[in-house]
Amino acid sequence: MSRSVPGSFAVAWLAPLIALLIAAVVGDILILSFGQSPGDVYRLLLEGTWGNAYGLGQVLYKATTLTFTGLAVALGLRAGLFNIGAEGQLAAGGFAAALAGLAVPATTPAFLAVPLCVVAAAMGGGIVGAVPGALKARFGASEVIVTIMLNFVVLALLNWLVAARLHVGESLHTPPINAGAVPRLADLAPAFHGSAANTTIVLAILTAAAVGWYLFRTRAGYDLRATGLQPDAAEYGGIRVGAVRFRALTLAGALAGLGGVNYVLGYKHYYEEGFASGSGFLGIAVALVGRNHPAGVPIAALLFATISQGGLAVNAIVPKQMVEVLTAVVIIAVAVTVPEVQRLAAAGRRVA
């Protein structure tokens, strides 16, 4: 709690804590309005998530995808760019991973097939991210508009490719990949049996660490953050802002694309239409709550994954809309409390 960084401790820990408490109280009231006991519902929610290995596995699985999409949004925001395209980038990454897995022969050894599919996922998402990046750098087109609209284009294109060309039988998914599948956590620890959690989580942790290193330990990362804080000053300081923005959005797309690995290589071993539905947009919330920090994002991802999986566990007694409302309340509470806590903390110091 050093004085040289005023309020950072309070903002980093107190604000999310207060936001969570606000959300918990709103949740209490919602649960009561459904005629249920908040104690029962929260107990059931915790039992169904952190209370057993299977529930925990489901939380870890969901958090893995959300870590990637959260990082994709956070990296963009660090460069001053609002990437709302994680939904489409994630889907494109999953699709590219599945294509790569289908293209290689079944005899391909894992040490070749897995990296190939992972790189394909990053490239799939990266290409989708590069489009708004290029339009921003070249024409100054608003990345918000372009990334939102590109979601529709990408999802429609992928749906068409699967529905018209690649699906098997009466399903909406591609054939299973020939090679490139990664082990599930259940293969290493049988207690996780049945859960979708898989070793992609290692990739997620490594990726978060790599993003942290890139942002705070490299020249390119410095350029990116400088552009985000004050583009004109960065430009004046000799940073090629256009190039930095292009790179940031392309990298963000690649990060979201990597999320596709979790589903395609780790869980179902095929691309299914709609697999990414919602995870991209939730990435915005993850980045916000995770304070756009590579260490905060995985923690925020765990939080939202817990709410999501917990919602399923309590679905029998409260409608799923409660979970959707709760997610929204967490986001709003964080958005409100962070500046408020900052203000109060600053005021407190002046008095002291």
Partner 1 sequence: MRRLLAVMVALLAVHTALLFVRPSQATPAFEGEGLDVGVVFDVGGRGDKSFNDGAFLGAERAIRELGARVRYIEPGEGTDREAGLRLLAAEGMDLVIGVGFIFSDDLAQLSREYPDVRFAGIDYAPPVDAAGNMIPPPANLAALRFREEQGSFLVGALAALVGDSKKLGFIGGMDFPLIHKFEAGFRAGVQAVCADCQVIAQYAGVTPEAFRNPGRGQELALSQYQSGVNVIFHASGSTGLGVFEAARRRGKLAIGVDSDQQAEAPGFILTSMVKRVDEAVFSAVQSVRDGTFQGGIFQLGLAEQGVDYVYDDHNRALIPDSVRARVEALRAEIVAGRITVPFTR
Query: Where does this chain bind partner 1 (CB under 8 A)?
Result: 10, 14, 17-18, 21-22, 24-25, 28-29, 32, 35-40, 42, 48, 54, 58, 61-62, 156, 159-160, 163-164, 167-173, 175-176, 194, 196, 263, 267-268, 272-275, 277-279, 308-309, 311-313, 315-317, 319-320, 323-324, 341, 344-345, 348
- If you search the block for the tokens 């990437």, which residue do you land on? 83
Q: Considering the complex, what minimum distance in angstroms separates the CB of residue 159 from partner 1?
A: 4
Q: Which is nearer to partner 1, 41 or 249 (CB)?
A: 41
Q: At what angle do helices 200-217 and 53-78 cross, to 10 degrees?
A: 30
Copy the structure tokens of residue 159: 């749906």
- Give 235 or 324: the residue with its C-beta nearer to partner 1: 324
Nearer to partner 1, 17 or 210 (CB): 17
Q: Which long-range contacts (CB under 8 A, 24 or more apart) does 322-330 make?
A: 322/27, 322/30, 322/31, 322/34, 325/26, 325/30, 326/23, 326/26, 326/27, 326/30, 327/282, 327/285, 329/22, 329/23, 329/26, 329/27, 330/19, 330/20, 330/23, 330/285, 330/289, 330/303, 330/304
* Closest CB 347 distance from partner 1, rounded Å: 9
* Sign of the torsion angle spanned by Cα atoms 228, 208, 272, 306: negative
Q: How far is the CB of 190 from partner 1 (least distance, A)?
A: 13
How many Å apart are CA 9 and CA 249, to the nearest integer?
Answer: 30
Taking the least distance from each CB to partner 1, the nearer of 174 and 250 is: 174
In the complex, the smallest distance separating the C-beta of residue 29 from partner 1, rounded to whole angstroms, is: 7
Q: Which is nearer to partner 1, 57 or 228 (CB)?
A: 57
Minimum CB–partner distance for residue 57 and partner 1 (Å): 10
